[in-house]
Amino acid sequence: MKAAVCTGYGPPEVLQVREVGEPAAGRNDVVIGIRAATVTASDVLIRSGIPSARLVMRAMMRLFMGFTRPRRAIPGAVLAGEVESVGRNVTRFRVGDRVWAFTLMRCGCYAQRICLPATTKLLAPAPSNLTHDEAAAIPYGGLLALYFLRAAQIRRGERVLVYGASGAIGTAAVQIAKHFGGTVTAVCSAANLELVRSLGADAAVDYTTADAPARAGAGYDVVFDAVGRRKTSPLKAALPNALAPGGRLFSVDDRLPRVRRADLEYLGELAEAGALRPVVDRRYPLEQVAEAHRYVEGGHKKGNVVLTIGG
């Protein structure tokens, strides 16, 4: 089968599409034919080897991920596809089932097929109303946004500010915060104001203008920073001041989120109910994986970038 292989840490060109061995299902496994995989900010970070990180941090990362190249040669942690074969003990899935999965550190999604234990925590039936490309655009941003917004315990009518509302996590956060009953102000650049409004934001603020902190205002019950520590602006620096007394501030980089299968299933229900729409910015064929990484690395994708993968 064809797969993108990460040949070392470095620029997007370290990703090469090659023929690799076919996976075979053991008695408790499923083999999934992958139709779409998401290129995430995390994939890009791992591939790069984080050259800008402190030496200690880089050494720790490589201890965990692999010294000269990622131990998991095939990158990608989010897939949508179809079950192609099942092991003899598997009752949870049948051949032909449409599924989606977040494989976490196991990676392996930039490939035509993957073999996973049927009990894999974040493997579930995909929403029936979405194409494979659309389905692949939900789990990464959706699970991260859901984790932090649940921690925020949004109550109906509370004012919520989502900073960085146009990325994978941000576009999911706007919709989930609305679903939880929040009144949502979305912060993004001018080009994405219409997008975030179309996702349900009650107000949208361009973070690139000098008066952005004033226009975003104050008195928020919840502020969620969906872009993390590395992306800054004057408005971001002002986020703590935007909180109402007793307000809750969360950043996507605060901690590693804990994710459960029930959360993935919940996202599927939201998608089927139309409360969570996938946002796909660009699609690239597997062969153009390096271009896809270069685009995501630019840091300005709208929602998600998806690799389309043929059988």
Q: Note whether 168 binds ligand NAP by CB under 6 A.
A: yes
Which of these ranges, 31-39, 49-57, 184-192, 237-245, lies near ligand NAP under the rule CB under 6 A? 184-192
C-beta of 242: minimal distance to ligand NAP in Å? Answer: 14
Q: Note whether 173 binds ligand NAP by CB under 6 A.
A: no
Q: Note whether 300 binds ligand NAP by CB under 6 A.
A: yes
Residue nearest to ligand NAP (CB): 167
Q: How far is CA 196 from CA 185, 199, 203, 236, 269, in A?
A: 9, 5, 9, 18, 21
132 vs 236, beta carbon nearer ligand NAP: 236
Strands across the sheet containing 243-251? 203-206, 183-188, 159-163, 220-225, 243-251
Task: For residue 176, give the nearest of 261, 95, 108, 266 by alpha carbon.
Answer: 266
178 vs 302, beta carbon nearer ligand NAP: 302
Pull the structure tokens for residue 194. 């219409």
Cα maximum dimension of the chain: 63
CB atoms within 10 A of CB 253: 11
Which of these ranges, 24-32, 83-91, 163-171, 266-274, lies near ligand NAP under the rule CB under 6 A? 163-171
User: To 5 degrees, how large is the angle CA 146–CA 149–CA 154?
Assistant: 135
In whole angstroms, what is the distance from residue 35 CA to residue 97 CA? Answer: 13
Using CB under 6 A, pick the residue from 37, 123, 126, 252 that binds ligand NAP: 252
Q: Note whether 256 binds ligand NAP by CB under 6 A.
A: yes
246 vs 298, beta carbon nearer ligand NAP: 298
Which of these ranges, 61-69, 91-99, 223-231, 238-246, lies near ligand NAP under the rule CB under 6 A? 223-231
CB 162 within 8 A of CB 186: yes
Q: Note whether 188 binds ligand NAP by CB under 6 A.
A: yes
Sign of the Cα torsion 301, 58, 163, 153 reads positive
Indicate the angle between helix axes 168-179 and 261-272, nearest 10 degrees: 70
User: To 5 degrees, how large is the angle CA 163–CA 42–CA 236?
Assistant: 20
Using CB under 6 A, pick the residue from 3, 15, 32, 41 that binds ligand NAP: 41
Using CB under 6 A, pick the residue from 103, 112, 192, 288 that binds ligand NAP: 192
112 vs 192, beta carbon nearer ligand NAP: 192
In whole angstroms, what is the distance from residue 133 CA to residue 298 CA? Answer: 21
Draw the binding track, 99-138, toward ligand NAP (x: CB under 6 A; -: no contact): ----------------------------------------
Task: For residue 120, give the nearest of 105, 110, 130, 141 by alpha carbon.
Answer: 105
Q: Note whether 231 binds ligand NAP by CB under 6 A.
A: yes
36 vs 144, beta carbon nearer ligand NAP: 144
**Which residues are at the interface with ligand NAP (CB under 6 A)?**
40-42, 141, 144, 164, 166-170, 188-189, 192, 207, 226-228, 230-233, 236, 252-253, 256-257, 299-302
